[in-house]
Amino acid sequence: MQALMLRMKSAKAYRHIQADGLLPLPCANTLRRLLSSSDCKFGFNELALKNIMKALDGKKSFERWGCLLFDEMSILADLTFDPKLLEWHGIVDYGENIKESFEKGLADHALVFMFRPYEGDWVQPFACFATKGAAKDEILYELLAKAVCLLHNHLAIVKNFVSDGHQANKKVATIFGIRTVEPCKTYFLHPMDDSIKIYWFVDVPHALKCVRNHILTHKQVQFAGEIANYEFYSRLYKQEKFNGLRLAHRLTESHIYPTNFQRMNVRKAAQVLSRTVAMAIKHYREKEETKKDFKGK
């Protein structure tokens, strides 16, 4: 596995080390043969769970606390036949023991679960599921509940969830009892230990991206009783576009007028909403020659 990880990081470095005999590394064909003999399937990975238990064995309770992260990524829909197992690969697959019915068809997303301990510097994926679009909230609820219980049985204590702000995730949070309206509730009790509270967090990168995209889409949004106007970002970019020395030196056209793909870039969203850009707008708002273009209502 270490040899495989090294080759994934740099195939050129791997070939150099192998050719010069610096390390006794297996050839590419050997790696393929070993991988083809391994049991790779969707669902909860028992080997990964055992590795988590091995890493946490003998540790105190607080050292076994951690977070469960989950997210979906888009994959290419494809259907292939495995002649060894006589199975079709590429269809929707949630593994075993899923009671909820689900839509069948070609999978175009992968849902991944990971565990990250608070007191450790490692992260371990332990489940992967092939889905068609976003997983249904009922199915996701069942998978998360089972994940928490499996981790608990393998010595890992989940103290919080981390996810993006997708609508399906919000529905699941509601099923778990999370409420964002009065009376607010930001946690639910651990299904195997009522003394443990599990909190639900929306990760900051997705929150930043969603805020920027919301302002970009609606142009004018309300915040703290005031109106935030996206036009000021556009005016700032045009004001400094041809300047040699710029206050908002990181802003480019892709920041202000992003394509659908560039909308997903978290770094650009963070730079648009940065203090540097805010101070640049403030500067031009207070400058006599430009204050009329940057003055809000």
pLDDT along the chain (297 residues), means of 10: 79 86 85 70 89 94 94 86 78 74 80 94 92 87 94 96 87 88 87 93 86 89 84 91 87 91 90 92 89 76
Residue boundaries of the structural domains of the chain: 1-38, 41-202, 206-294
| Nearest of 202, 69, 214 to residue 144 by alpha carbon | 69
Measured CA to CA in angstroms, residue 146 lies from 97, 127, 190 at distances of 10, 11, 11
Rounded to whole angstroms, how far apart are CA atoms 226 and 37? 61
Question: What tokens appear for 136 in the block?
Answer: 């249904």
The alpha carbon of residue 125 and the mean position of all alpha carbons in its chain are separated, in whole angstroms, by 12
Specify whether the CB–CB gap between 161 and 67 falls below 8 A: yes
Specify whether the CB–CB gap between 129 and 167 falls below 8 A: no
| Nearest of 169, 189, 283 to residue 236 by alpha carbon | 283
Specify whether the CB–CB gap between 96 and 76 falls below 8 A: no
Angle CA 103–82–29, to nearest 5 = 130
**Strand pairing class (157-163; 65-74):** parallel
Rounded to whole angstroms, how far apart are CA atoms 207 and 222? 17
Residue 150, SS3 per DSSP: helix
pLDDT (0 to 100) of residue 38:
62
Q: How many helices (H) and strands (E) in the chain?
A: 12, 11
The residues, ordered by sequence, that sit 6+ positions from 209 with a Cβ below 8 Å of its Cβ are 263, 264, 265, 266, 269
pLDDT (0 to 100) of residue 179:
84
pLDDT (0 to 100) of residue 291:
83
Specify whether the CB–CB gap between 168 and 135 falls below 8 A: yes
The partner residues of 228 in beta bridges, in order of sequence, read 221
pLDDT (0 to 100) of residue 151:
96
pLDDT (0 to 100) of residue 272:
92
Specify whether the CB–CB gap between 123 and 133 falls below 8 A: no
